Structure 1
């Protein structure tokens, strides 16, 4: 399970594999333990009400949003607009 742990990073973009948000993108805004993370997309799932998600239900993307990671390191928070921007930028880069 250690290869998964390397991917658990605040600011990492993830694709939801199951649940009502399936197919959508979100950003890791908190790490509960090695099995669960908190995700938010800045839209339906806002920073103040993140979703606790099993990492097995997420597809880790090879991108970490530095804006989100820096904001979380500096203030412990991130704006919903920044989350939306990070996801939009990533999705555009993939051509979705």
Structure 2
């Protein structure tokens, strides 16, 4: 399991969008640009290749990290959109129970 802190985002971590057009939806952090901005994708409307640059203050970081996404990004620097969709669906399934 990947360690998660409240302030520092981790690739593969699930986040809820608080501001913007996609507010209320969930996405996966796919890249950390600096201490203020990250890139997010949901694998459906927002693909990995066209990840959205988001301010960390506009995201609610969840304490859930997808190991599949984290390992894929760590090993190859990329992740498939299917893995991103699966990670979001798995998180939503666990959250609803």
Shift of 1:3: 5.3
Aligned counterpart, 2:73:
72
Cα RMSD for the two superposed structures: 1.5
Q: Structure 1 pair 33/67, CA: closer, same or farther in 2 (3 Å)?
A: same
Shift of 1:4: 1.2
Q: TM-score, normalised by structure 2?
A: 0.92
1:18-55 deviation digits (Å, cap 9, x = unpaired): 11110000000000101000000000000000000000
Aligned counterpart, 1:58:
59
Q: Structure 1 pair 31/56, CA: closer, same or farther in 2 (3 Å)?
A: same
Extract structure 1 runs of 4+ deviating beyond 4 A: none
Alignment gaps of 5+ in structure 1: none
**Structure-2 separation of matches of 1:74 and 1:81:** 17
**Structure-1 separation of matches of 2:34 and 2:74:** 18
**Structure-1 separation of matches of 2:6 and 2:91:** 23
Asked whether 1:4 is paired with 2:18, we answer no
SS of residue matched to 1:10:
coil
